Amino acid sequence: MSGATVGDFLAYWESEGEGYFRRGDYDWMASLVPGTRILEIGCGVGFGTLALAARGLTVLAIDSLAECVESARSKLGGQASVEFRVADVAAPDADTLAAMQAFRPETVVCWLMGAPAETTGALPSDAGQAVAAYRERIHRAVAELAGSLASVRALHLVDRTAIPWQAKDIGRDTLVRYHLGKTLSELPFGAVKDNALYRKLEGNVVDLAQIRRSHPSLKSVVPTLASLLALRKD
């Protein structure tokens, strides 16, 4: 779990996100994004926004938590190419929707979506089910939003998972099928295996070793980032 309260959540992602940023994970995500005008849904504490801005992209970054937006804004140092707004990422208000339409984004990104346990309802005993359900709901809302914005040509989703690395090609097929069946169903986006990618995550080695000792069948499983770029159908 990434924190029960907003304070815990921010502390977790300041630490975890800094590690991802330092190891180039956010740069990898940003390198996969087409277009120059990016709507970032769920900017969190701002490491993803930093990576997008470093590529010279123009970004409208949205988060539901004012504390996240404040932290993200402090990292960007007032860069003119980045604008922040606090809004419900699942149901933006009319002013935010108008700002999104005026911004005319080419790509919507939603990376490592999460929230405090007080929002997701997560419990240590639920094996991540509440977080998975929350992520599924938000992904669908973001995809519907992207579909409603005529300027958007692509939707980029990235999340953490764990897979047997030797089976990653099968995992790419599974990732596409999942999002086509859930996130993108009946929306104007398509997805193909060539745009489904995995990247190994470093860190948390001790935790992973403990899992492998407790569950020998998972000895080949590695933590990864799962990336899918969905493109608007012509």
> Which tens digit of pLDDT belongs to each residue from 155-184?
999 999 999 999 999 999 999 999 999 999
Q: What is the arithmetic mean of pLDDT over 106-131? A: 82
Domain residue extents for the chain: 6-232
Predicted local confidence at residue 115, as pLDDT: 79
Closest CA to 35 of 184, 191, 153, 196: 153
pLDDT at residue 215 greater than cutoff 50:
no
135, 112 Cβ separation under 8 angstroms: no
pTM of the model: 0.92
Percent of the chain with pLDDT strictly greater than 70: 90
Residue listed under structure tokens 């999942």: 178
For domain 6-232, give the CATH number: 3.40.50.150
Q: What is the mean pLDDT of the chain?
A: 90
For 187, residues 6+ apart whose C-beta sits below 8 A from its C-beta are 143, 144, 146, 147
Q: What are phi and psi of 88, to 5 degrees?
A: -65, 115
For 193, residues 6+ apart whose C-beta sits below 8 A from its C-beta are 172, 173, 176
pLDDT of 38-86, one tens digit each?
A: 999 999 999 999 999 999 999 999 999 999 999 999 999 888 899 999 9
pLDDT of 124-161, one tens digit each?
A: 776 678 888 889 999 999 999 999 999 999 999 999 99
Local structure of 33: helix, strand or coil: coil
Q: Angle at CA 160, nearest 5°, toward 234 and 164?
A: 100
Predicted local confidence at residue 187, as pLDDT: 98
Predicted local confidence at residue 77, as pLDDT: 87
pLDDT at residue 121 greater than cutoff 80:
no
Q: What are phi and psi of 70, to 5 degrees?
A: -60, -45
* 176: enclosing H helix or E strand: helix 168-181
Can you name the residues that pair with 58 across neighbouring β-strands? 37
